Every structure is written in structure tokens, then in C-alpha cells.
Structure 1
Amino acid sequence: MAVKKIGKQTVRLKNPPSIISTYSIVGPKEGDGPLKEYFDFILQDDLCGQKTWEKCESKILEDAIKMAIKNAQLSEKKVEYVLAGDLLNQIISSSFAVRNLGIPYFGLYGACSTMAESLSLGSMLIDGGYADYLVCATSSHFCTAERQFRFPLELGNQRPPTSQWTVTGAGAAVLSSNGLGPYITHVTTGKVVDAGIKDVNNMGAAMAPAAADTIIQHFKDTGYRIDDYDLIITGDLGIIGKEIAEEFITKAGYDISKIFTDCGIEIFDNERQDTHAGGSGCGCSASVFCGYIYKLLKDKTLNRVLLISTGALHSTTSSQQGESIPGIAHAVTISNTKE
């Protein structure tokens, strides 16, 4: 019997895991943005001493995982699972990052929703009594994503105003069955929602309906009121997607405008840094959560946050075959109390 299930899509964890440490790494552009003081490490260049951008992405993810474990004052032998994913084909950044760690590994693909997906599944593993320590991690890289999903940088293609800048960054969080918080108390698993958007340069519009669907369902399932949250933050909608999602949510009777923002908006100064509609990518919500939101929770500036990572579930193959872009959004409640 699913005693922890509430409503249609939400789980209330009976033994909420504590996030006992995080670590965030970002690229130079992200490190020049509004959140620079919150990131743990800022790269000097986009290669990080590696020969390719793909190798760089894998390295920063590996470094983030190792440093999060170190910050938790654990040895890698104490960690029972790594749950990680990225945007590249066959999630090579994650698989190559953990190949020398000797830790059991779940490779995840939820596109840019992967950080909240890993936190969701990791929380359930600990709440279910299957682990005491595990790591949830995600990465992306501007240059690797452009090469795979759009055009190689060497072509110098113009980016339309609706496009978003894939974040070069990685974030890792250590979850524990013990700890003083913040805790992951609720998990709302998203549904695949397809609004028929086909423009690969307008990811925000493609993901916004899924984000709105998950947020609305979360409130229905949990009975939480808007004032129960200090912050509701989506992962990768950017300016355009946030506006669309907010409109859907308001029409459903939930005015979250005073506490609603997006990681892709917060990480860049869009005008000064010319990122058009804002940031995106697996590393967007990962680095903003692990570097910014987590610190605000730890110092009690924030007490309860709803993090919703959003993903566009397309590929170069599906786009070339004329398919639309399905979206997904997973949500976790992170609170300084176990309620």
C-alpha cells in the first residue's frame, strides 16, 4: 500500500533526508553574473585544462561530486549511490565522471529536469531505507550543448531573441538519513506535457506548460498555500517560459507572482551579458540550487522552497523528423523543518 503517496503525483516522505552538503562549479560567464559570490568554484576558461569541451564538462561534474563528499566530511567509500545525468548522448559526462569513483551509479536522463529528478529519486531511496548517504548531481556546458543540439560555435550562427544560454556548470548535493537539514519533505513527479512547440530556439515556451502543470498539481496534492513557501523557483524556463508558466498558474487560481522566479533568470544579467531569454541546461538549476539556494536555506534566509527543474525531452533526431518538443518538470519541497 502506497502509504506515503498523497494526491495524484506527490509523495510525502516519512523520514525526510537531510541535504548535508553541496558543491557548485560554473564557467567564466556564469561566474561574472549576479550570483558569483555564491558559487564554490569559478572556471578561468571553458576547457578547465582539458582537450575538449565534453571532457571539461565531465571533469567539473566529477570535481563537484568529490568536493560535495569532502564537504560532508565523508569518504567516497561511505557513499552508497550516485544519481547523476546530463544533456549529452548516452549521458557521457555523468558516466565518465563516476567511472573512477567506485560508487554504485544510477544514470538519469530528464534533460534539464535532471537535478530535481535526482533529488526526487535520491530522497525516496533514503526514505525507503535503502541508503544512508548518496549524491545527486548534474552538469551542462554551453559549447557541448550547442554542438549537439544546435550549431557548432565555429559557424557563428545568430541566436534568436527567444533562445537561452546553456549554463556551463555542475552541482552536487549529498543526501543523508541523518542531519540537521535542510530536508527534502515532498516530491511531486511531473508528467510529460506537449504543447506542440517545434522551435528548438524557444525552449522556455516548450517547457512552461509542464512546469505549470506540476506546480498546480503540487498545490492540489499537498494542500499547501502559497504563503507556506518563501520561494518557488523553476529551473530553466528563462524570461519567456516563466511568463507563460505564470499565466497558466494564475488562471488555475494560484497567484505565485510575489515569490516566483527562475534559475535561468537569476544566474545571468541578461542585458549586460547578452543571454537573450536567460539561462538553461542541466547545470542551471544544479548550480543555482547547490550554490545559491542551499546557502540561503542554511542561513535561514529561506525556510521552505519549491524547486522545479524543467526539461525539454527532444533530440536532434526527433527535431529533424519534425517532432514537437515534449516537456517535463519535477518538483521537490526543501524545508528547514521536517514537516
Structure 2
Amino acid sequence: MIKNLHNGAASIGFDSPLYFESCASIVSQKEGDGPLGNLFDMICKDPMFGCDTWESAESTLQKEVATLAMNRCSLTPEDVQLMFAGDLLAQTAATSFGSAGIGIPFYGLYGACSTMGESLSLGSLALTAGFGSRVLCTTSSHFASAEKEFRFPLGYGNQRPFSATWTVTGSGACILNTAPPGENSPLRSSGGCAAITGLTAGRVMDYGLKDSMNMGGCMAPAACDTITRNFADFGRTPSDYDAVFTGDLGVIGKKILLDLLGEQNIDLSPIHQDCGILIYDNETQDTHAGGSGCGCSATVLAAYILPKVVSGEWKRILFVPTGALLSKVSFNEGDSIPGIAHAVVIEHVEV
């Protein structure tokens, strides 16, 4: 059993790291046409993924990425003790159907677009508590299934305001292990590997915003709260991180976050990046404020962030997926949209 070291009010440090053994990312053509297109493991030109419905397409997407992550390290479902996964749909339908047949004991999660941070956090805690040596963490989202769930059917042709983000069609998966990855792992280099060394649990933050087309504004306060508590709990400043990645604040949420942090005399601008801004080329792809969805931060983590940590280009980063906790019921009843953000500390570890 790994010892957990409680830091401050909401953070936990691990005296032994939790290692990334494998990862995988699958996206649709729009994401493949973006700046990170050559980094994803698979790009599917068919957004239906060979299925009859958008929801089935997302389930297939999540099942395929989980299988790919295991195959990259020659693992079978019997080698993985637990699966923590989620999506944006009601009753996490894409994940429930996607996990069926894989055969791994399963916990379904919902943290909106912050779900990859929640999955990695709970997976890490399960491993440190001794409940197995290996867990699978995965999330997915699909543009069409999310539009159908939260906004309008695609055939409606509604106009999107410039504050709106574009839900990423994609899925990312990571396998965590209590032991360092083997020589055949895609996440091991001659210099080392990537590992989780700590986390900060998010708090639900509600500033009373009600605009579902400006989720960056709804989520930015939660990102600010989690980042500042991570710094306070671990006694760190921005200079202790090579980069801080938020999940999908987009261009508007990013500005609000930096302004909120500036009010606390924290200048994050030199090292802050947002997965929703990274995944699309806003000049040519017309996504307005950027990308969003559970699959946004998950695919960027697997395809872009982890390889740079493994190589040692980044020694320590803070991964902060962000989520807007609305439902179609709460929104239609006029409720505000709370936000949440979970932070995971990922470091380059020599092995």
C-alpha cells in the first residue's frame, strides 16, 4: 500500500508515484485536421464510427480507445483491476454501453468535461489504497451526441455565438500502474517516464452564470479555485511548473481565469495552456471559442502532454480538466451552471 500524504485542505501527495503505463487517443476527422492531428493514434473519417446512432458511435469510440491502450502494452482485460470512465450523456450511456464486453470491473463517473481529471484522481487513490496494481482511466465525447443532449438536433441549424465551444469527437485512455512501465511501454523513454505525484480535488463553484453557450465563463472560477489551492497546499508557485493545462476554457474562459488569478497576484500567463485552444485551429476551423467535451482534455493528454513529460521536455505539469455541471433539466428550469475542476500533478520520473 502506498502512503498518501495529505497536503492542506484539498490536496494529496503520494510518497510513491503512480506511473502511466500506456495511453491512447482516437478522434474524428475535424480533430485530425487540427494542429495536433499528427499526434493522435487514430483518426476516423466516419463520425458515425460504423454505427447507426451518434450515441452508439461514441460507445464504440470509447471501447476502441480502451482496447488500443491495452494492446499497446500487450495487456488483456484480466490484467486491469478497475476501470474509471465517463462521458457527457445522461446516465453516462456512452460509457455504460462502451464498457460492456470489455470485462473490467467498472465505475461510471460524471464530472462533465472535468471527468478525465476525476478518473485519474480516483484511479490513483484506488491504487494507493491497495485495490489492485493497474487501473484504466478513460473518457469520451462526441459533437453530435452532445448537441442532441444539451442543445439542439443538428438538423435544426441553430446559430452558435462566438462564446460557444465545439464539442470534441474523441476519446482518450490512460492505464496507471503502481510499478514503472516496462521496456515495451509507449510511455517509457531512455530517460524515464510520466507519473502522478499528487492531486487537488475540485470544489463546485457557482457564480450564478446561466449562459450554456459560454461554458468557459462558467468553469473559469472553478479552475482558479483549484489552481490556487494546489499552489497553497503544496507550497508552490507558477515557477514550480513547466506548464499548467486547463481542460476546455477556450479563449474567453482563459482570459477570465488569468484575470481572476491576477487579482490574487498570480501570473499564470507564461505557462498556461488550454486543451480546448490547442486542439483546433481557430483561424481555419471556425470553432469560435475552441474545443470542449470529456474527450478534449483526454485526447490532448494522451497525444500531446504525456509524450513531452516522458521525454523530459517538461519535468512537472499541472493537468486541470474543467467541467460545467449543467443538465438539460437544470438549464431548462433556469438554474445557474456550476463549474468544477480537478487537478493532477504529473511529473517526469527517472527509472
TM-score by length of 1: 0.97
Instruction: Tell me the residue number matched to 2:118.
Output: 117
Moved over 4 A (4+): none
Per-residue CA distance 1:119-172 (angstroms, 9 max, x = gap) = 001011112211101100000000000011001110111101110000000000
- Is 1:15 paired with 2:16? yes
Instruction: Tell me the residue number matched to 1:244.
Output: 256
- Is 1:279 paired with 2:291? yes
Structure 1 residue 10: Cα displacement: 0.2
CA distance in 1, matches of 2:75, 2:203: 35
Structure 1 residue 14: Cα displacement: 2.1
Per-residue CA distance 1:87-130 (angstroms, 9 max, x = gap) = 00100111111110111001000000000100001011112211
- Alignment coverage as a number of residue pairs: 337
Instruction: Tell me the residue number matched to 1:155.
Output: 156
Instruction: Tell me the residue number matched to 1:215.
Output: 227
- Is 1:205 paired with 2:217? yes
CA distance in 2, matches of 1:8, 1:314: 26
Instruction: Tell me the residue number matched to 1:37.
Output: 38
Instruction: Tell me the residue number matched to 1:184.
Output: 196
Residue 51 of structure 1 aligns to a residue whose secondary structure is: coil
Structure 1 residue 3: Cα displacement: 5.8
- Is 1:317 paired with 2:318? no
Q: Give me the CA root mean square deviation.
A: 1.1
- Structure 2 stretches lacking a partner, 5+ long: 182-192
Q: Does the CA contact (< 8 Å) of 1:207 and 1:241 recur in 2?
A: yes
Instruction: Tell me the residue number matched to 1:50.
Output: 51
- Is 1:253 paired with 2:265? yes
Instruction: Tell me the residue number matched to 2:79.
Output: 78
CA distance in 2, matches of 1:300, 1:3: 25
CA distance in 2, matches of 1:101, 1:292: 26
Structure 1 residue 53: Cα displacement: 1.1
CA distance in 1, matches of 2:26, 2:33: 13
Residue 96 of structure 2 aligns to a residue whose secondary structure is: helix
The one-letter amino acid of 1:184's match is I
The one-letter amino acid of 1:208's match is A
The one-letter amino acid of 1:183's match is A
CA distance in 2, matches of 1:263, 1:328: 16
CA distance in 1, matches of 2:343, 2:165: 22
Instruction: Tell me the residue number matched to 1:264.
Output: 276
Structure 1 residue 73: Cα displacement: 2.3
Structure 1 residue 299: Cα displacement: 1.8
Farther-moved stretch of structure 1 (53-62 vs 66-75): 66-75
The one-letter amino acid of 1:215's match is I
Residue 162 of structure 2 aligns to a residue whose secondary structure is: coil
Instruction: Tell me the residue number matched to 1:101.
Output: 102
Residue 103 of structure 2 aligns to a residue whose secondary structure is: coil
Q: Does the CA contact (< 8 Å) of 1:16 and 1:123 recur in 2?
A: no
Instruction: Tell me the residue number matched to 2:185.
Output: none
Instruction: Tell me the residue number matched to 2:28.
Output: 27
TM-score by length of 2: 0.94
The one-letter amino acid of 2:165's match is Q
